[in-house]
Structure 1
């Protein structure tokens, strides 16, 4: 497996011994904003290396902490093998999970993938919120959205079709004025799109890109899951997903609100 020199990950030192003998290939694992490399070597386990620039909005340390907590809670996710930072870039080395992400796991039918997503979210949402140290309730998420907007890192060209052409400032005004009056708190994934969940022909393999995992309204996950299923498989499977989850009816205003919130992340 050959790659171009620009695909080589930066080296900081602390992880280098663990990377010896591996070939690197860029990978579109999940939806992480970090650069992701798939590592392979004969006789060695497949690994993934995530690399990001150090900064106020870096997420690798958040992801490592959440993966360790999720694993300790009994749910499947990549093992954190090592992490380091040289003050310029953060790196996270994790194990690979068997299978493919639910957006591309062609060994399974779209209905089966939608049901696996529902079951995975149910398992996550059943974890006791008192045990979760990560607070992603609206007060914190709206503050984070505002900080990202003020830093100029909200991508206005990537808004959902219904919001294209609007400014981040206009959407933030909607976010503040439309805030729901209550939150149905569970442990959420935070970015519950199909590419962030892995499955094989044997079933669900685990959760990916968990840097936004935390206690929040369940609609944080339901809204993004519904949007992802509609985009990848069509609207017809959204109701099948909801039925499997156990939510036969939804609140359209809350679905829209949490999809609006996601525009800032």
Structure 2
């Protein structure tokens, strides 16, 4: 489900928090439509300084990820990994807000100057760096007991969009997909620090070099197939199935097909 554009989901220009008016004075605010996040996303061009991104989500959203993203971005940059820089946060009557410095370049799903082989190498190399971080220093636990509980909670609350299921599950009721998920839980886990939504739109590059991760609200300790599965699916969708094998070769692994399928199935709930 990640990184598709929900039907009718294009935020209007926001009423900016008063505390940021001077900071963003003279800038052009542009809504961003890509992404399945429940948050509204805007880019501010041409203000006093570099471009920045703003995110806003309702304060009463029980499944909001903005606070999670703030903590994870700060932690990730503290580990020396390139990611969006948090500039400020703010809560008001319209919701929770996050202000970030724009990561240089373009995302790997929309970089016309990069050949497919360059893209898969950038993804593989960036994930290798992330996955080499020691898990005992990561405070965010996204192992399966937590993620399956979150998936069930979203299902019970009616927050799973069955209309956005992958083609293989199109038309299936959410309860049926959840039953298939629970029936295919892997017996073992190869734990690393994962991005959690390692699709091409969430990795940035400029001049052929990786410049940072974005949309890190689901970063945490999980099986490496969490990232490998969504990266491979995104590569197949954006570049073609023939580029999945070079991705795994560059990363340096022979993945478990059952684990790849499971983590794509799990993603249907987020």
Q: Under a length normalisation based on structure 1, what TM-score does the superposition of the two structures give?
A: 0.94
* DSSP 3-state at the match of 2:18: coil
CA distance in 2, matches of 1:122, 1:153: 32
CA distance in 1, matches of 2:161, 2:237: 19
CA distance in 1, matches of 2:34, 2:130: 21
C-alpha RMSD of matched pairs (Å): 1.5
Q: Under a length normalisation based on structure 2, what TM-score does the superposition of the two structures give?
A: 0.92
| Structure 1 residues 45 and 223: alpha-carbon distance in aligned structure 2, compared to 1, 3 A threshold | same
CA contact (8 A) 2:114 2:208 kept: no
Tell me by how many angstroms 1:72 deviates.
0.3
Matched with 2:222 is 216
- For this pair of structures, how many residues does the alignment match? 259
Tell me by how many angstroms 1:42 deviates.
5.3
Matched with 2:148 is 142
Unmatched tracts of structure 1, length 5 or more: 1-5
CA contact (8 A) 1:187 1:214 kept: yes
Matched with 2:66 is 60
The 5 Å alignment of 1:1-265 reads 7-28=12-33, 32-41=37-46, 44-54=49-59, 55-247=61-253, 249-265=254-270
Matched with 2:8 is none
| Structure 1 residues 102 and 119: alpha-carbon distance in aligned structure 2, compared to 1, 3 A threshold | same
| Structure 1 residues 76 and 30: alpha-carbon distance in aligned structure 2, compared to 1, 3 A threshold | farther
Tell me by how many angstroms 1:177 deviates.
1.7
Unmatched tracts of structure 2, length 5 or more: 1-10
Tell me by how many angstroms 1:250 deviates.
1.9
Render the CA deviation track for 1:108-152: whole Å, top value 9, x for unaligned.
111101110000100000000001000000000000000111111
